Chain A
Amino acid sequence: DAKTTQPNSMESNEEEPVHLPCNHSTISGTDYIHWYRQLPSQGPEYVIHGLTSNVNNRMASLAIAEDRKSSTLILHRATLRDAAVYYCILRDVQAGTALIFGKGTTLSVSS
Chain B
Amino acid sequence: AAGVIQSPRHLIKEKRETATLKCYPIPRHDTVYWYQQGPGQDPQFLISFYEKMQSDKGSIPDRFSAQQFSDYHSELNMSSLELGDSALYFCASSFGGNTIYFGEGSWLTVV
Contacts and interface: CB of A to CB of B under 8 A. Distances in A.
- Among B48, B101, B102, max chain A CB count under 10 A is at B102
A101 B100 CA distance: 13
A45 B56 contact: no
Contact of B56 (A42, A43, A93, A97): A97
Nearest to A32: B97
Interface residues of A, number: 23
Given A98-B33, A101-B44, A93 B97 contact: yes
B104 A96 contact: no
Interface in B42-64: 42-45, 48-51, 55-56, 58
Interface in A81-104: 85, 87, 92-104
B99 to A, nearest CB: 6
Interface in A33-67: 38, 41-46, 49
Interface residues of B, number: 29
B45 A98 contact: yes
A46 B92 CA distance: 11
Nearest to B54: A96
Given A95-B31, A103-B42, A43 B55 contact: no
B103 interface: yes
B25 interface: no
A96 B48 CA distance: 6
Contacts of B35: 101
Q: Sorted from nearest, which 9 A-B pairs have the closest CB atoms?
A: A96-B55, A43-B102, A96-B50, A93-B97, A95-B96, A101-B42, A98-B45, A101-B43, A95-B97
